[in-house]
Amino acid sequence: MSTTTTAVDASLPDSWGELVTTALLGTDRRTPPGSAPGPDAPSALLDAAAAATVRRRAGLRPGRAARRPEPAPEDPRPALPPAAARRLTMLLADRPGTPGGGRRGTAPDLMELLPQWLATANARGYAAPPAVLPALLDAARGRTDLRPAALRFAGPRALWLARLNPDWRFALRAAPGGGASVPGARDTEGVRRLWREGLFAERVALLAALRSREPASARELLATTWATERAEDRLMFVDSLRTGLGPDDEPFLEQSLADRSRNVRATAAELLSALPGSALAERMAVRAGACVAVDHTRDTPTITVEAPHECDAGMERDGVVARPPAGRGERSWWLGQLVEAAPLGGWPGRLGGRTPREIVALPVADDWQGELHAAWCRAAVRQRDATWSRALLGEPSAPEAGGPGAVSLAERAKLLGTLGAAERAEWVAGFIETHGLSEAFQLLGVCAVPWAAPVGRAVADALNIARDAGSYPWSFSGVMGLAERCLDPSEASRLEALLALPDEPENASPGAGGYWSEAFQRLVTTLHLRARIHSELTP
Amino acid sequence: MPGSSFDGMTEQGMRWTADQVLALAPDAASRAAGGGLGAAGRWSGAGSSGEGVVWGLCEAGGGAPYRTVVDVSGPAYGCSCPGRGSPCEHALGLLLLWSGGGGAVARGEAPEWAERWIKDVRAKGPGDAPDSPGAADPEAARRRARRRAERVTAGTVELEQRLADLLRGGLASAERSGDGLWEETAARMVDAQAPGLAARVRELASLPGTGADRPVRLLEECALLHLLGRGWRHRERLPEGLAATVRSRIGLTARADGPAIRDRWLVLAQYDTADSRLTTRRIWLYGTGTGRTALLLSYGAAGRAPGLALPVGPALDAELSAYPGTGQSRAALGERFAPPAPTDVRPSGTTTAGAAARYGEALRDDPWLDSVPVTLDRVIPAPDGEGWQLADADADTALPLTPAARSRPGLWRLVALSGGGPVRVFGECGHQGFTPLAAWPEGAGEMVPLC
């Protein structure tokens, strides 16, 4: 209590100091106050020190109060129902580092349910109980994927708390709008001052917050200082225009195509190409169109490709990267970039009025199919074009869908992202019914949670088939983990039948049946738990 | 313990929260494992009786399921698993399942195996078996006591000699010779059968190693050791209460022979401290009727959790008996009449000045006290340089937190609960500062454990 608490020992301020000095030096060298030198001196010193110690302690009084922290802002949201609060405590108590290792047993993986818990609590608009905020912030600190939902749920008091603990600084950076430090929408002067004087992170946060509210004023704010910004900062700032990108941004981006920094130019070009009406998109359409044509002189109409022979200054200005990565031919590298950036809407007109589906179905001469289709896939994703995505995805039951076809699984997953949730689910369900689960992980990852009925049924059936085939469940641990988190809890009753220990088929891996039963048990338990979580959060 | 005393208590009324259950875990690993087992999938035949008994079969990965049973009124735990922790992860999981409600643990008749176990436990009687008095020949016991007193006296004489040598040469030069000095002295005190002295000496070795504070702390502790030795040798001339305090500080065991006080005891805090030899568990209780604060101490051998575990937050209808000695909070848990049940009662609080004064007054009864239990009302946690303090909301005064409290996760729960506003805080207040152990929000709201 020595720092802020004053010891009231007015009667012996000096004698206590004298006692300490004497003790340090030793009674052989110094005689304690009020006693005679000699063999009894140490004992006399200790007697005096004991009395002084008790007197000092008994006289302790509170010290002066330091500056108290500003009160945390009010959290107007309603309090969490008690059962949900208890559940949250349990989920947060299940920290990684738990013993158990490889085999997962039948207990649900509680930490994995936290994202859903948070999403539901946020959708209901509940406030976090103050006492769980430290555990919540610690969890979000360890897992960046949790941060947005955790911080939203944690609310204003968590940001208040994060300012007091350096371990939680991330919360101030990650908070939408950087926490309370971003001025309000009408505070024009505050916005300008923060933009001029703020630290880089604060400025990025300010720009992002403004951009999500009023895209135009964010761009205008950026334009006021654009010429004087450092190249790395310009890159971050131009990238923030991705949010709320629209035709109004074209003049600014077009101007950025002449930027000193190559990365800024490339980003500006990429953004422009996602605006189908932009001048850059039109220029790219002309260039790409010159490379791709339909040859009607053959027996069947066939697409022929004449890749560009050079990357001229105009192409480079429009963001085409001249040097290919190691191992790639430069002409095909340039072609890919042109097709990727050209508006997809122009192709039917250039290729004989064919629909996207018909275009994709055309044979492509001289092994150009892979290159061309891959570029169309990237364009469909960038331009979020559902018609082209559908055409490029093809039928889920087609044999090449499961194999190493023209379009990779990763690309398919991205294409699926441009479709509506129901259509996505139908396609993935169809894929699993034909090709099983071994390739389905990436595709399942893009399905909306909880999985729509067709996906759920397809996964359950496929797992059942895999079990009957006698393989080990951990070959499917990725899908199993996804299923625990994403299957609709109402599917649990359909899965109960799978819990029983099956008869081992002849060619089964030894003991596989027991492991499957365990894995299904965990699946069903987790589904039940998710149903409980849902009902606890539903008033 | 007659079953009829639980009549009229609803199942809901005595159900614990997940926090309370998790607080019973002896260590982080069993806490995490128990959390994983708190879901319906692993359990079959789980049920609870009106008498505070919960049971269930926990699937055991292939073999026969573990039989787990908990007597919540104890609480006492039984499980057929090979684990040695108490409560084991299965008992924790079962309690979590039970605390979650929702029908996973059905109300019903206990199966035969659970019934048998509960009968065994209750037959042993309440509390951890106290030393049985009168078992042996009283004359032999007196002889043993006399012999031990002689050894303790010899020990204090030797300690006195060592302290005198130390002070003669000076603390500064003794410090240069290292901590071996204290370890050796502590070992001699163990030989002298004075474990209290040994523990104090050992703490001297672990005083903060640097800073201007160190010589002061060293002199203080040496002086208090000296005072304790002198107190022992002159114990016949001390008032009986203070003599008992000296005996307990020296480390002589006494029996809790105070009158039994029945109350609903709110469990304020439970925390363990451990060194290489011993785990010490402290449980602070507050009598909601009497307003008394009492400390239950229990011990576990190195690495083992002490036997007694109570859920923090609810109140326990039970009898407590004080240990002898002035200024002592320690009591022994006697008969328990009902399982822990929720309570809205909070201890009444004082100001920081009131807390400091209370510590000062308590030193009159026991000059060796490091701290006293106190509840502060309307204080605001505030950062103060490297440390933290609890500042009065209505005055310009504050108590610093102890260095140990600064590094505990409970500090941040306290700060979060406060949000810059006043809270009520129970803790230990002493010469090192204040150690917060439990807190309540200003308005309505449950107690938040901080340890």
Out of B169, B399, B409, the one facing A134 most closely (by C-beta) is: B409
Where along chain B do its domains lie? 3-123, 142-250, 261-341, 352-449
Question: Is A452 inside a domain boundary?
Answer: yes
Angle between helices A147-162 and B410-418 (to 10 degrees): 80
Alpha carbons within 13 angstroms on the beta-carbon side of residue A349 total 7
Q: Give the helix/strand (H/E) hosting B336.
A: strand B331-341
Residues A474 and A531 in one domain: yes
Residues A295 and A240 in one domain: no
For the segment(s) B352-449, the CATH number from 2.40.50, 3.40.50, 2.60.40, 2.10.240 is: 2.40.50
Contact A107 B37 (CB under 8 A): yes
Point out the residues of chain A with pLDDT beneath 50: 1-11, 97-103, 176-180, 403-404
> How far is the C-alpha of A282 from the C-alpha of A2, rounded, in Å?
75
Testing the interface with B: which of A60, A112, A501 to mutate, by most B Cβ within 10 A? A60
Task: Say what the pLDDT of residue A477 is.
Answer: 78
CA A465 vs. chain centroid, Å, equals: 33
Contact map slice: B 6-35 vs A, CB within 8 A: 17-19, 22, 29, 31-33, 35
Task: Say what the pLDDT of residue B48 is.
Answer: 84
Would you say B394 and B378 are in contact if contact means Cβ atoms under 8 Å apart? yes
Residues A281 and A360 in one domain: yes
Ranking B25-34, B123-132, B224-233, B430-439 by mean pLDDT, the lowest is: B123-132
Percent of chain B with pLDDT over 90: 47
Dihedral of CA atoms B386, B389, B395, B396 in degrees, nearest 10, equals: -20
Task: Say what the pLDDT of residue B356 is.
Answer: 97
Q: Alpha carbon of B243 to those of B323, B324, B332, B428: distances in Å? A: 13, 9, 20, 24
Which is it for strands B315-322 and B261-274: parallel, antiparallel or unpaired? antiparallel
> How far is the C-alpha of B434 from the C-alpha of B441, rounded, in Å?
18
Neighbours of B267 (CB within 10 A): 24
Q: Which domain holds residue A30?
A: 6-61
Whether chain A has a CB inside 8 Å of the CB on B40: the answer is yes
Does B21 score more than 80 pLDDT? Answer: no
Does B5 score more than 50 pLDDT? Answer: no
Average pLDDT over chain B reads 85
CA proximity to B29, closest of A95, A102, A89, A103: A95
CA proximity to B443, closest of A164, A79, A315: A79
**Residue A533: closest C-alpha in chain B:** B100
> How far is the C-alpha of B349 from the C-alpha of A281, rounded, in Å?
72
Contact B383 A69 (CB under 8 A): yes
Does B361 score more than 90 pLDDT? Answer: yes
Question: Per the structure, how many domains does chain A have?
Answer: 5
The backbone torsions φ and ψ at residue A112, rounded to the nearest 5 degrees and listed phi first, read -70, -15
Q: Give the helix/strand (H/E) hosting B147.
A: helix B138-169
The backbone torsions φ and ψ at residue B198, rounded to the nearest 5 degrees and listed phi first, read -60, -45
**Tally: H helices and E strands in chain B:** 13, 16
All residues of chain A having their beta carbon less than 8 Å from the beta carbon of residue B215 are 20, 23-24
Task: Say what the pLDDT of residue B402 is.
Answer: 93
**Residue A22: closest C-alpha in chain B:** B170
Question: Is A499 inside a domain boundary?
Answer: yes
Question: Which ranges in A6-40 belong to alpha helices (H)?
Answer: 13-25
Split at pLDDT 50, 70, 90, the class of B9 is very low
Residues A534 and A430 in one domain: yes
Task: Say what the pLDDT of residue A1 is.
Answer: 43
Task: Say what the pLDDT of residue B206 is.
Answer: 75
Question: Is A387 inside a domain boundary?
Answer: no
Contact B397 A19 (CB under 8 A): no
Residues A281 and A366 in one domain: yes
Last residue of a domain, one of A119, A151, A181: A181
All residues of chain B having their beta carbon less than 8 Å from the beta carbon of residue A61 are 353, 356, 397
**What share of residues in chain A are helix, strand, coil (percent, to 5)?**
65, 5, 35
Q: Alpha carbon of A480 to those of A96, A486, A491, A522, A533: distances in Å? A: 19, 10, 14, 9, 20
CA A22 vs. chain centroid, Å, equals: 64
Out of B173, B387, B398, the one facing A64 most closely (by C-beta) is: B398
SS3 A507: coil
Contact A521 B400 (CB under 8 A): no
Question: Is A37 inside a domain boundary?
Answer: yes
- CA torsion through residues A480, A482, A485, A489, sign: negative
* Chain A nearest CA to B370, separation (Å): 9
Query: Tens digits of per-residue pLDDT, B61-119?
Result: 667 788 888 887 767 788 888 776 678 888 888 888 887 766 678 888 888 888 887 77
CA proximity to B43, closest of B29, B31, B30, B60: B60
Question: Is A92 inside a domain boundary?
Answer: no
Question: Is A95 inside a domain boundary?
Answer: no
Task: Say what the pLDDT of residue B11 is.
Answer: 40
Residues A282 and A367 in one domain: yes
Residues A433 and A499 in one domain: yes
Residues A439 and A539 in one domain: yes
Residues A449 and A528 in one domain: yes
ipTM over 0.90? The verdict is no
Question: Is A526 inside a domain boundary?
Answer: yes
Task: Say what the pLDDT of residue A120 is.
Answer: 92
Query: Tens digits of per-residue pLDDT, B156-192?
Result: 999 999 999 999 988 888 777 666 778 889 999 999 9
**Residue B227: closest C-alpha in chain A:** A50
Does B216 score more than 70 pLDDT? Answer: yes
Residues A457 and A489 in one domain: yes
Residues A260 and A319 in one domain: no
Would you say B196 and B219 are in contact if contact means Cβ atoms under 8 Å apart? no
